[in-house]
Amino acid sequence: MIDVQLILSVLGGIGVLLILILYFQIQAFLALLIASISVGLIAGMAPSTIMDAMKTGMGNTLGFVATVVGLGAIFGAILEHSGAAGALANFFLDKMGEKKAPWAMTLTGFVVAIPVFFDVAFIILVPLIYSLQRRSGQSLFLFAIPLLAGLAATHSFIPPTPGPVAVADILGADLGLVILFGFIVGIPAVIVSGPMLAKRLAKITFIAAPPLDEEPKETSKNPNLAIVLAIIATPILLIVLNTISKTWLKVGVLINWLAFFGHPFMALIIANLLAWYFMGIKKGFSKEQLLKMSTQSLAPAGIIILLTGAGGVFKQILMDTGAGQMLANAFADNLSSPFIFAFVMAALMRVVQGSATVAMITSAGMTSALIASANLSAAQLSLLVIAIASGATVLSHVNDSGFWLINRYLGLTVKQTFKSWTLMTTLLGLSSFVITLILAYFV
């Protein structure tokens, strides 16, 4: 049965959130908390109960996410400053050849964005795509779009990047399965929205790299590529191995140790120690320099952590008001409904307020309330994370900082940015969602 008051509370909370962010320009963390309180008040919750729910939601969410995002930020910062991103790109280019440079850029973006934040990775690699354009004489789109597709896909779909980590925690999904499905869904989606789209765009529009004096300087310390790949792969393999072992092995000493080393906390601690030594100390960085870059990396991580905590508060309020159960009953008879709901809500939030992170966290809170009593398998729950990430990827436009980052560095007009970057993000989000929806019926 539909409760009108609960419906109004959910709609009212979303409305408050959007007004605060869009009109009053209030920071999303504060806006999410105020929106959560609004939901509780409209639904008729007692004021003291709302405060208790906020404390519970924040605490339950941050216990996991704060640790993983913090460790991931430090890990990425060390790899960023070591020059690993540029070295990887050059390695893939050397192996694949300049004729296959778009595919090399796709692979570079896909790998580099695992440890390094999207915008940082793009800025680091911009000089390389400039150089490729000048040497080849072809449109900059041919190299930039594949790189951006690879970066965007990994940033959205594959932990330990913050977005999927936060959504997985809010939904209670297994991080190892999210990683596996992130690769399965992400690879074909990137092929469609990266090299295939780039080839067409490059034929239609020629974009030249900017003059050399505007080119950002690349700082590469020529790290050992085998070590770089091994360090990036270490936490992913440990987490996935832990997930797989739960199915293959019985309870015992081995599975206990695999669970220990494969827990995201331990896997990322190991990766950090490897990066600190091999990419830091062995490359000539002082301990003081490593401490400084690690400390600075926690500033942007703190914003993501607090946003995720606020998303947990929003989820808890929806659960405690009964709105989650009402939504679950409304969507209970159709497996595809939770996935469609998750995708549409994330896409709407993305289009209206611009931030993919806010879109993912807000829609994760609503979706978590919806599926609280649903009978989804562990695999389906992990795919639901990908569905939310897909929705939060589509239609990047003028209210998204990424739109202007691409506009500036590629030297595009606003119209050209819509026809390239916005088109790419939309194609990536839609294709990944279609693949996710298909997989959900077979797992």
DSSP per residue, 380-407: HHHHHHHHHHHHHHS---TTSHHHHHHH
pLDDT at 145 > cutoff 80: yes
pLDDT at 66 > cutoff 50: yes
Does this model's pTM top 0.75? My answer is yes
Burial class of 77 by CB neighbour count within 10 A (0 to 12, 13 to 18, 19+)? buried
Total number of domains constituting the chain: 1
- Ranked by mean pLDDT, which of 196-205, 311-320, 356-365 comes out on top? 196-205
Residue-wise pLDDT tens digits, 208-252: 887 755 444 444 456 777 888 888 888 888 888 887 876 666 666
Question: Which residues constitute the domain of residue 366?
Answer: 4-440
Alpha-carbon distance 168 to 177, whole Å?
10
Nearest to 70 by CA among 306, 347, 323, 247: 306
pLDDT at 90 > cutoff 60: yes
